[in-house]
Amino acid sequence: MNIVDRSYLEFLQPLDHIQAAPPAFLWVEKLSVQLFGNNEYALRLFPLISGIISLIAFYKLGQWALSPIALPIALLLFACLRYPIYYTTEVKQYSSDVMVALLLSLLLISLRGQILGKGRALLLGVIGAVAVWFSHPAIFVLGGIEAVHLITAAPEKRKAILLNRWPSYLLWFASFGILYILLTSKVAANQVLRQQWGKEYPGSVFDIVWLLDSFGRFFYRPMGFRQINDGIAYFAFVIGCIVFYKTNRAKFLILISPTAATLIATYLHKYPFRGRLILFLTPFFILIIAEGIAWLLSQWHRKKVFAILGIVLAVTLLLPPTMRAADLIVNPERKEETRSVFEYIKSHKKPGDLIYSDRLNQFNYYGKMYFGFSDADAVPTFQDFWNPLGFSQQSWEDFKRKANLPSQQRVWFVFTALTPPEEAQVKPRLDQIGQELEYFKQPGSFTYLYELK
């Protein structure tokens, strides 16, 4: 609803519903809706295009970074792993984060060590300045890779590169500073987000346990290795790091630099190193994992035991995501079928029935846009429903009076994206306030019809 309801200029203000996204991403989404209509396909178009471009860019980066054996391994992983696929279908910026990271990497690598003309230096500055408005973590890719280029440059050339590119760097950080003052600082000041992110930060610079745990979690999500395979992927990554460090230290530093820059921000408590926020780092990790597996496979004529280990790693890491991706062609994943739930309510709703949605933005989009419901059909949010201490018969009666809900009122309660423990709490709590009349469930979403006491 942020995209549908706001003007282009209003995207420079913090979003509703405790959400955050880069302004340029939102501008593209708004344009897509205006060009192709207010529907899910228009909203999901840019993430999908970003995923397709990312695949091509990843192939190009792999050609630069990897040995011939490693390239197909890397491509298969990148094309089939769970979360890189999933976020190309969701109306979020994380797919375009990956695209921007890959395109910036290719650009900076192609210019490594070059003294640029004024026009090209200005163009580099403009591209970087625009990129940070499309992707929050773009600054980590720009700063990380360019810092490595300067560090690894010959001493006599380093000063020349700095003098040549300082206007580009100035544009990058000026653009980032303007965005931070206008928007990012306000988002970071949101108390709800601060509470959510606070537990994701290390306790101190010396918090090694947090660092090891964060890297371990990274292989599960956002990379998408499941169960024991996340540990196996971690092992392959370590081997890849050793191989790169010994064979081409500059490439290794370039590939690891966006992660290092992100970790610096995390230790400064400015950017969480968790989940989808660091999806943009997955291509770099996949390249290193693939090189580690490829090196083991290449040892067949030297140490067969290493080659056999490489075969085991390759099969273990490649087979599950490949099989799952193939299955998705026939059986697409259905994660939150909220639209189907509202469609069911529309076809079974009687005059006078009301609707309670634990996510009001989904009622506003699906309920209003697709099925013609209005604010008169909606029940306000009961803030204490999920509060184990605040939920009681008395708190519900107080809420009923404020919301003008009469006894025997029929209400459709809609819930989405609950964890199993949360879902198990719903019916017992609803039973305290009314009598169940109907139940309908779809993947990730369900509704109960209750007659209130």
> Residue 178: pLDDT above 70?
yes
pLDDT score of 185:
84
222-253 pLDDT, tens digit per residue, is: 999 988 999 999 999 999 999 999 999 999 99
What value does the mean pLDDT take over residues 349-378?
A: 89
The chain-wide mean pLDDT, for the chain, equals: 91
Q: Please give the single-letter amino acid code of residue 49.
A: I
442, 336 contact by CB (below 8 A) = no
Residue 172's H or E segment, with its range, is helix 155-179
Q: DSSP per residue over 211-274, as a string? A: HHHHHHHHHHTTT---TTHHHHHHHHHHHHHHHHHHH-HHHHHHHHHHHHHHHHHHHTTSS--S
C-alpha distances in angstroms, 39 versus 6, 48, 87, 413? 16, 15, 18, 24
CB atoms within 10 A of CB 14: 17
DSSP conformation letters of 92-136: SSHHHHHHHHHHHHHHHHHTTTPPPPHHHHHHHHHHHHHHHHH-T
The whole-angstrom separation of Cα 344 and Cα 447 is 9
Supply the pLDDT for residue 72: 97
Average pLDDT over residues 193-205: 80
Q: How many CA atoms lie within 13 A of 283 on its CB side?
A: 34
The tens digit of pLDDT for each residue in 348-358 reads 999 999 999 98
Q: Tell me what pLDDT residue 385 has.
A: 83
Query: What's at 50, amino acid-wise?
Result: S
Is 90 exceeded by the pLDDT of residue 171?
A: yes
User: 355 pairs with which residues across the strands?
Assistant: 378, 412
Residue 134 has pLDDT above 90, yes or no: yes
Token couple for 256: 């690891």
Query: What single letter denotes the amino acid at residue 34?
Result: Q
Q: What is the pLDDT of residue 193?
A: 75
Rounded (10°) CA dihedral 222, 225, 228, 232 = -100
- 313 has pLDDT over 80: yes
